Amino acid sequence: MPHPIIAIDGPAASGKGTLSRNIAEKLHYAHMDTGSLYRAVAFEVLEADGDPENESDSVRAAQSLTKKIGEASSPSSILDNPKLREDDVAVGASKVAAIQRVRDRLVTLQRDFAQNPGEGYEGAVLDGRDIGTVICPEASVKLYVIADIEIRAERRMKELQSKGIAATSGTVLEDMRARDARDTERKSSPLKPAEDAVMVDTSQLSESEVLEKALEIIQEKLSGPTIS
Ligand code: DC
């Protein structure tokens, strides 16, 4: 029996990252935050004074990233860089992610991770924008995590404040709308739910309630032993 793959997609600040980490921890699955790949490409472009909207700058960075990850002892040594969480990198990431040749360079890495999550792991959880639709259409469970845009902007505000970064709620909301538009309206692998995805709305739920709901769905889909 192949191991289960859980695909989790959704817009920025919907809660999919936290949920994916919590599921991975609970079920002893390996987790890949695929957004960090696009962030790492953007970071590399910006470090080289390139333009994330320039195809050759971004494709070159994607090639160099996949090579570095291939040579590293684990992808997390590159993808856990706190600089990848910065705002200019996030904006750059949504630009490089619209370039099909960048996406093509990152497909194999993500599929390999899903197929070979590593020794000791019982499955794989990947979160992003196109996991259920493009990267792992065969995933055993697909969740599409959403939340009202005002709530997502509020979460983002809190995150910025906790890092001591000043921002106004109007600007954060505007940025969120712009990123949503770039993610959903691009031609290459736009953000959308897979036909067989189950929607999880986190607007009114706590972190543990979201996890509980997701575990119920997973258990039903996998019809495995009780998860407690
Ligand atoms: O989830 P995130 O905010 O870290 O993602 C950063 C950007 O990368 C986001 O604007 C969309 C893009 N992305 C993507 O296009 N496909 C993925 N599987 C993951 C992220």
What pLDDT score does 226 carry?
Answer: 52
What pLDDT score does 1 carry?
Answer: 67
Residues facing 52 on adjacent strands: none
Q: What is the pLDDT of residues 53-111, one digit of tens each?
A: 999 999 999 999 999 998 988 788 899 999 998 888 988 998 999 999 999 999 999 99
What pLDDT score does 165 carry?
Answer: 81
Whether residue 163 is predicted with pLDDT greater than 90 in this model: the reply is no
**Rounded average pLDDT over 40-62:** 97
- Ligand 1: does its nearest atom lie under 6 Å from the Cβ of 40? no
> Between β-strands 198-201 and 5-9, what pairing exists: parallel, antiparallel or unpaired?
unpaired
Q: Kindly list the distances between the CA atom of residue 68 and the CA atoms of 91, 119, 131, in Å, as whole numbers in the listed order.
A: 23, 21, 22
Query: Which phi and psi (to 5°) does residue 102 adopt?
Result: -70, -45
Q: CATH assignment of 5-217?
A: 3.40.50.300
- Ligand 1: does its nearest atom lie under 6 Å from the Cβ of 183? yes
- Ligand 1: does its nearest atom lie under 6 Å from the Cβ of 38? yes
A 10 A CB-CB count for 40 gives 27
- Angle (CA) 199-205-207 rounded to 5° is 100
- Ligand 1: does its nearest atom lie under 6 Å from the Cβ of 179? yes
What pLDDT score does 224 carry?
Answer: 57
Q: Kindly list the distances between the CA atom of residue 132 and the CA atoms of 43, 49, 75, 106, 214, in Å, as whole numbers in the listed order.
A: 26, 34, 21, 15, 15
- Ligand 1: does its nearest atom lie under 6 Å from the Cβ of 127? no
Structure tokens at 172: 């954060």
What is the pTM (predicted TM-score) of this model? 0.93
- Ligand 1 mean position to 129 CA, how many Å? 6
Whether residue 227 is predicted with pLDDT greater than 70 in this model: the reply is no
Q: What is the pLDDT of residues 8-37, one digit of tens each?
A: 999 999 999 999 999 999 999 999 999 999
- Ligand 1: does its nearest atom lie under 6 Å from the Cβ of 134? no
- Ligand 1 mean position to 209 CA, how many Å? 25
Nearest residue (by CA) to ligand 1, atom 13, is 35
Nearest residue (by CA) to ligand 1, atom 15, is 97
What pLDDT score does 197 carry?
Answer: 98
Q: What is the pLDDT of residues 120-145, one digit of tens each?
A: 999 999 999 999 999 999 999 999 99
